[in-house]
Amino acid sequence: MTDRRPILFFDSGMGGLSVLAPTAKLLPRAPLVYVADSAGFPYGTRSEAEIAARVPALLGRLAERYDPRLIVIACNTASTIALQHVRAALDVPIVGTVPAIKPAAELSRTRVIGVLGTEATVRQPYVADLAARFAGDCTVIRHGSAELVELAEAALGGARPSIASVRDALAGLMAQDRAGEIDVIVNACTHFPLLEDELVSATDGKIRFIDGGAGIARRVAYLTEGQEWPAALPGRAVFTERNARTESLAAALARFGLNEIETL
């Protein structure tokens, strides 16, 4: 029989769509399930202990329900905190999301780079370790922004933010010492590529923004190389809680090929 097992993408909200989209381009026949933990959103303001307990438990339920061939934790916060716990708990290939500090360092000419994520992500020792290993000759300036996450969610629902509001959300990064020398910023939250146009405009086109979406898509394609794919199946979006925010996203989800919506 044809293997109908999906690739499952997991995030606290809609940011993981920036990872799903390049994966769908590389693997157009792959069945896709996108899960947003709307009941736990946003992760960036939660404690490490909450995330470390919540994510493996949720993914265990999801693995049992959808029998995925591979899981992508399309969330930097969940990956930096819970990835090792998920891998220990599940007998399914797991791909995490790593801040793209290495390619940022390779691109930077000023040797000053920014890391823009959630508060929970940017304070992780894992991020400091990546900076030490791959950007040791760079000044790495970190900043967490819950505001940008909310702006990205609203933008997906059709409410594009003003450039001034995005510039305000970046103020905590750009006010730090040597921030005027930044030439590359790592979008260390999968939500932020959804605001790429606004981020570029808010920095007057002088800074390059990069993320790991394309690299994760290539990793998924490599890990599933040679596997059988079914005839086209509808993409599925799953929420842990339905609310006014989730109900407003049906049209946006359909643009990503996610035409069926369920509640876990």
Distance CA(191)–CA(150), nearest Å, equals 9
- Residue 145 pLDDT exceeds 90: yes
Rounded average pLDDT over 223-241: 92
CB-CB neighbours of 35 under 10 Å = 27
From the options 3.40.50.1860, 3.40.50.620, 2.40.10.10, 1.10.3720.10, give the CATH code of 101-211: 3.40.50.1860
Q: How far apart are CA 134 and CA 104, in angstroms?
A: 9
Q: Which CATH architecture has domain 7-97+214-263?
A: 3-Layer(aba) Sandwich (3.40)
Q: Is the pLDDT of residue 89 over 80?
A: yes
Q: Identify whether 75 is a catalytic site residue.
A: yes
The alpha carbon of 64 is separated from its chain's Cα centroid by a whole number of angstroms, namely: 23
Query: Is 138 designated active site?
Result: no
pLDDT of residue 86: 95
Q: How confident is the model at residue 1 (pLDDT cuts 50, 70, 90)?
A: low
One of 189, 195, 210, 217 is an active-site residue; which one?
A: 189
- End-to-end C-alpha distance for the chain, whole angstroms: 27
Residue that is written with structure tokens 């790592």 in the block: 186
Cα 121 to Cα 44, 80, 134, 175, 187, distances in angstroms: 7, 7, 17, 20, 11
pTM (2 d.p.): 0.93
Catalytic annotation, pick one of 75, 101, 166, 186: 75
pLDDT tens-place string over residues 163-196: 999 999 999 999 999 999 999 999 999 999 999 9
CA distance 254 to 100: 28
* Domain segments of the chain as ranges: 7-97+214-263, 101-211
Confidence bin at 233 (pLDDT 50/70/90): confident
Report, as an integer, the average pLDDT of 151-168: 93
- Is-same-fold flag (7-97+214-263; 101-211)? yes
